[in-house]
Amino acid sequence: MGIELHRKVSKLQGLSAVRAQYQPRVPPALKVTFAVRLARFWGIGEVDMCGSVKVSVGDASATAELSDRLAVSEAYPHTYGLPLVQLMSSGGPNATTAKHLPLRIGVAFCGRQSPGGHNVITGLFDALKSQNANSILIGFIGGTEGIFSQRTVELTNDMLKDFRNQGGYDLLGRTKDQIKSYQQIKDAKAACEALKLDVLVLIGGCGTNSDAAQLAEFFLESGCTTKVVGIPVTIDGDLKNQFVETNVGFDTTCKVYSQLISNICTDALSAEKYYYFIRLMGRQASHVSLECTLQSQSNMVLLGEEVANSKMTLFDVTMQICDAIQARGEQGKNYGVVLLPEGLIERIPEFRALLQEINTLRKQDEDIGVDNISSRLTLWAAALYDFLPIFIKKQLLLDRESDGSVQLSQIETEKLLAQLVDTEMIRRTKTGLYEGKKFNAICHFFGYQARGSLPSNFDCNYAYTLGQTAYYVAQAGLTGYMATVANLKQDVSEWRCGGAPLTAMMSVKRWLRGPGVSQTGKPAVHTTEVDLKGKPYGLLTQHASSWLMDDLYRNPGPIQYAGPGADLTTITLSIEDNDYIGEIQEFYAYLDKVKEIVKPGCAGEVLKAALSSMASVTDILTAMSAPSYRSLTPF
């Protein structure tokens, strides 16, 4: 304790100072007195916990894939199958308002910085102090490193005031790495015990929430009483599942990138001489690129998921861009904007193979370099490697990420594509296939300039609500849960707060490739890719050709904090069907109705019709849930 905070001088100015005064909006469940209880439809009994909080024990949750349930339940015997919970206002003014017992809660930024992260902490802090002024919030300095080494600071209102609604993770600094070793798990337990933590809250993406699940399970297993709660915070927006509609930071970063992309579209249309190739963040999933395309209506986007799905080679990708340039050139348009995610390169099959070979070689020999690597690659990989421009060759051999993989943010895929396209357009010009103007490319990487942004109203509200939710979930004694907020596309007043077991979000990856990799991975919360059958992608395909040809650019402008549009969220969120909890409720209502009709004493024909209908429903759902059926669906 007692370590100094990063920002020594409190000098918020201008808009930052105005934003520090913003009071995030929270849904009704968090507005009056609070109660954690299982939603009515789960509930078969209610247990009075403490004060006004009620917890109902209901149906257990499960993984989405039937085939993963065994593996997850074996790996997580103590935390698999826990029920979903929902927060609900405990009722009118007469509800019990007894305060909670004081708690000691620890919190750490465990992923990469994402706008809104600070608000998770302020939401947690405000909820905790509102229930008991003697509760204590302890921040770990530097994420997991801070947990292992017990570098902490007790957070006070005074410390937090300059971080309310601010971007970045500079209150505490962020983690450098995921939890990797058994020793680190033991260190984390030792820290929780030494600090007498009732709760540990981890803020981050898929990796962080997998870590949270692992710690929760280990703590239960080894008799440590600290509860663990995860919060879904990542700019990539790829922690998506039945319980999680979007992640804190995705809204803000997409808006910042879209502002810049749209500016560049306007620039392209004004100068009429350049093709802009813009690489965006998004390693394993292309949600950011998709949302930015929907926002800016730029000419073209190459989603990693599309490329992987249609097994496009580097040559195919190049040709696709060249064909687009040629078509535009024939209409006298020699400019345009092409977006791509940083993860694109990994999704091109032959590149993926090359990257895997390089990763393996690098693990064996750190001194491998541009000059000596080619002879050690397979023939196919070497052919691709030798074909690449020197700057890409070098970038492929740069320092690794903490997980040993290539630093994709350092590989200038946009320049590689621009160069390949240039070569091809020159060839087409020489052979008379293309008669338009010379192709000119300008390349940009929009990466780090959005992560530290002042969060949007949506991210401020969402993060703050998650922070408060995490408190009530943890206070109810639940562990291995993620704080969740559902119905996010509606106004804050209609949001529903709750908790979902982390194990219910897990899956097992199979058929991994490469030497030394086992056939079946460990259960984890995995990234969710862009759904090529989903509505956001459908919107893109519906407009792709007109956006390509007709320059229907749209400029959403910079993030506004007041005035019209200040509370809008992403297009992705607003058009997705993601009211999972709502639909589950609707389903239970149907069951109730059917039970109401088919009671002892009902007419024989009614019972017969009910039996045959339910048999048919059961058959259909069984068939649809079988792994064989699910793998047969397109994409």
- Please report, in range form, the residues annotated as the binding site for ATP: 176-177
Per-position x/- string for 307-346, each x denoting binding to its own copies as judged by CB under 8 A, each - no binding: ----------------------------------------
Question: From the list 555, 574, 584, 588, which residue makes contact with its own copies (rule: CB under 8 A)?
Answer: 555
* C-alpha–C-alpha distance, residues 110 and 103, integer Å: 22
Per-position x/- string for 101-120, each x denoting binding to its own copies as judged by CB under 8 A, each - no binding: --------x--xx-------
Sign of CA dihedral 600, 606, 612, 618: negative
Q: Which is nearer to its own copies, 101 or 562 (CB)?
A: 562
- DSSP line for 314-343: HHHHHHHHHHHHHHHHHTT---EEEEEETT
What secondary structure, in 3-state letters, does 32-48 show?
CCEEEECCCCCCCCEEE
* C-alpha–C-alpha distance, residues 251 and 268, integer Å: 25
- 580 within 8 A of 86, measured Cβ to Cβ: no
Residues 586-615 that bind its own copies (CB under 8 A): none
108 by Cβ neighbours in 10 Å (0-12 / 13-18 / 19+) ranks as buried
| Among 150-158, 163-171, 499-507, 513-521, the segment contacting its own copies (CB under 8 A) | 163-171
Least spacing, CB of residue 430 vs its own copies, in Å: 17
Question: From the list 54, 69, 100, 174, which residue makes contact with its own copies (rule: CB under 8 A)?
Answer: 174
Choosing from 236, 238, 251, 459, which is the catalytic residue? 236
Q: Which is nearer to its own copies, 450 or 540 (CB)?
A: 450
Least spacing, CB of residue 340 vs its own copies, in Å: 16
The first and second tokens of residue 376, run together, are 């050690």
Q: Is 97 helix (H, G, I), strand (E, B) or coil?
A: coil
Query: Residue 374 gets which letter from DSSP?
Result: G
Residues 383-422 that bind its own copies (CB under 8 A): 390-391
| Among 92-100, 257-265, 462-470, 609-617, the segment contacting its own copies (CB under 8 A) | 257-265
Question: From the list 5, 120, 179, 450, which residue makes contact with its own copies (rule: CB under 8 A)?
Answer: 450
Q: Which is nearer to its own copies, 561 or 580 (CB)?
A: 561
- How many CA atoms, within 13 angstroms, populate the side-chain half-sphere of residue 20? 15
Binding residues, as ranges, are 176-177, 234-236, 273-274, 281-283, 342, 448-451
Least spacing, CB of residue 47 vs its own copies, in Å: 41
Q: Is 467 helix (H, G, I), strand (E, B) or coil?
A: helix
The first and second tokens of residue 388, run together, are 């690449």
Q: Is 510 helix (H, G, I), strand (E, B) or coil?
A: strand
Least spacing, CB of residue 629 vs its own copies, in Å: 40
Q: Which is nearer to its own copies, 134 or 546 (CB)?
A: 546
The first and second tokens of residue 293, run together, are 């395309």
Continuous H helices in 297-407: 304-309, 314-330, 344-347, 349-364, 379-387, 390-396
Contact flag: residue 583 with its own copies (CB under 8 A): no
Contact flag: residue 267 with its own copies (CB under 8 A): yes
Element (H, E) at 338: strand 336-341
The first and second tokens of residue 151, run together, are 């570098």
Residues 6+ apart with CB under 8 A from 370: 390, 393, 394, 397
Binding residues for substrate, as ranges, are 234-236, 273-274, 281-283, 342, 448-451
Question: From the list 77, 514, 565, 627, which residue makes contact with its own copies (rule: CB under 8 A)?
Answer: 565
- 369 within 8 A of 331, measured Cβ to Cβ: no
Least spacing, CB of residue 333 vs its own copies, in Å: 10
* C-alpha–C-alpha distance, residues 483 and 485, integer Å: 7
Q: Which is nearer to its own copies, 81 or 143 (CB)?
A: 143
| Among 78-86, 151-159, 226-234, 442-450, the segment contacting its own copies (CB under 8 A) | 442-450
Q: Which is nearer to its own copies, 219 or 276 (CB)?
A: 276
φ, ψ at 231 (rounded to 5°): -130, 130
- How many residues touch its own copies under the rule CB under 8 A: the total is 69
Contact flag: residue 446 with its own copies (CB under 8 A): yes
Question: From the list 380, 387, 448, 587, which residue makes contact with its own copies (rule: CB under 8 A)?
Answer: 448
The first and second tokens of residue 175, run together, are 């983690």
β 53-56/46-50 pair status: antiparallel
Element (H, E) at 126: helix 117-131
Question: From the list 2, 93, 563, 600, which residue makes contact with its own copies (rule: CB under 8 A)?
Answer: 563
Contact flag: residue 40 with its own copies (CB under 8 A): no
Contact flag: residue 14 with its own copies (CB under 8 A): yes
Question: From the list 110, 197, 216, 264, which residue makes contact with its own copies (rule: CB under 8 A)?
Answer: 264
- In this structure, the number of other CB atoms found within 10 A of the CB of residue 222 comes to 10
Contact flag: residue 256 with its own copies (CB under 8 A): yes
Least spacing, CB of residue 363 vs its own copies, in Å: 20
* C-alpha–C-alpha distance, residues 471 and 277, integer Å: 44
* C-alpha–C-alpha distance, residues 495 and 299, integer Å: 35
Least spacing, CB of residue 8 vs its own copies, in Å: 7
* C-alpha–C-alpha distance, residues 20 and 139, integer Å: 20
Q: Is 371 a catalytic residue?
A: no
Q: Is 365 helix (H, G, I), strand (E, B) or coil?
A: coil
Question: From the list 68, 162, 170, 424, which residue makes contact with its own copies (rule: CB under 8 A)?
Answer: 170
Least spacing, CB of residue 251 vs its own copies, in Å: 13
Biggest CA–CA distance in the chain, Å, is 86
Q: Which is nearer to its own copies, 166 or 289 (CB)?
A: 166
* C-alpha–C-alpha distance, residues 359 and 263, integer Å: 38
- DSSP line for 216-260: HHHHHHTT---EEEEEEB-TT----SSS----BTHHHHHHHHHHH
Contact flag: residue 140 with its own copies (CB under 8 A): no
β 300-301/336-341 pair status: parallel
Contact flag: residue 177 with its own copies (CB under 8 A): no
Question: From the list 521, 534, 558, 582, which residue makes contact with its own copies (rule: CB under 8 A)?
Answer: 558
Contact flag: residue 266 with its own copies (CB under 8 A): yes
Least spacing, CB of residue 442 vs its own copies, in Å: 6
Least spacing, CB of residue 272 vs its own copies, in Å: 6
Contact flag: residue 277 with its own copies (CB under 8 A): no
Residues 345-384 that bind its own copies (CB under 8 A): none
Contact flag: residue 572 with its own copies (CB under 8 A): no
* C-alpha–C-alpha distance, residues 239 and 114, integer Å: 13
Element (H, E) at 399: none
Positions marked active-site: 236
Give the interface with its own copies as residue ranges (CB under 8 A). Answer: 6-9, 11, 13-16, 18-19, 109, 112-113, 142, 166-170, 173-174, 176, 256, 259-267, 269-274, 276, 390-391, 442, 444-446, 448-454, 550-552, 554-565, 568
